[in-house]
Amino acid sequence: MRVASLLLVVFLSGCASKAVEPSYYLMRSNHALESGQLTPSKDFAMGTVVIASYIDQRGLLVETQDGEIRAAQQNLWAEPVYEGVRNQILVAIRAAKGEHLLPADLNRDAIVLDIRLDQLHGTNDGNAKVVAYWWLRQGKEVLSAYKFAEVRPLATDGYAALVDAEKALLEQLAGRIAATLVVPEPQD
């Protein structure tokens, strides 16, 4: 009887301490993958992508109230956020413009695109939020600068819906960026 009770206690304690497996998410574009030769832009190049330091962590983020952010413990990015965001934006710009943005050091005469991502998180009212800035520069001269601040409701509850909404917002951001990649008219 004692052995049975002991086994029951061991079994129950084993069940109670069973770890929950984390879920991992990729920030990857939904555009079709394709192989082939790149079509580099002759006029534009990719400069820096900077993300706010609070975003640069493994857990997906939710703003629980004004200024308070909680990082998920079991819902994590599968790669550094910077890599996912940069890839998402570059692929979406490529889809919108029909040409690839290569790194700025490969085309020193190009107009350079720099991006700063200030906010990327969920909100307590069921939205995803993205705030970003970008500017186009030639050398040290800034030619134009822009701001993107949008929210998108989550399609359903849960972290997978948050990732989908954040990806959609980054796609929207990339579309806006692509629309600004226009060679300025020469000044007389």
Domain coordinates of the chain in residue numbers?
Answer: 43-180
Q: 43-180: which CATH topology?
A: Rossmann fold (3.40.50)
Four-CA torsion 165, 156, 32, 90, nearest 10 degrees: 10
Please report the pLDDT score of residue 66 as a whole number. Answer: 78
pLDDT computed for residue 88 by the predictor: 93
Among 12-16, 45-49, 112-116, 178-182, the minimum mean pLDDT is found in: 12-16
Can you list the positions of beta strands (E) in the chain?
A: 23-25, 44-51, 59-65, 68-77, 111-123, 127-138, 141-153
Q: Looking at residues 50-57, what average pLDDT do you find? A: 95
CA–CA distances in Å: residue 54 to residues 64, 69, 127, 182: 15, 9, 18, 32
Q: Which pLDDT score, from 0 to 100, does residue 29 have?
A: 77
Cα–Cα distances (Å) from 69 to 54, 60, 85, 120, in that order, read 9, 10, 19, 11
Confidence of residue 188 (pLDDT cuts 50, 70, 90): low
pLDDT at residue 18, as a whole number: 63
Is residue 51 scored above 60 in pLDDT? yes
Residue with token string 């399609």: 155
Instruction: Examine the pLDDT at 171 and tell me if it is beyond 80.
Output: yes
With cut-offs at 50, 70 and 90, classify the pLDDT of residue 6.
Answer: very low
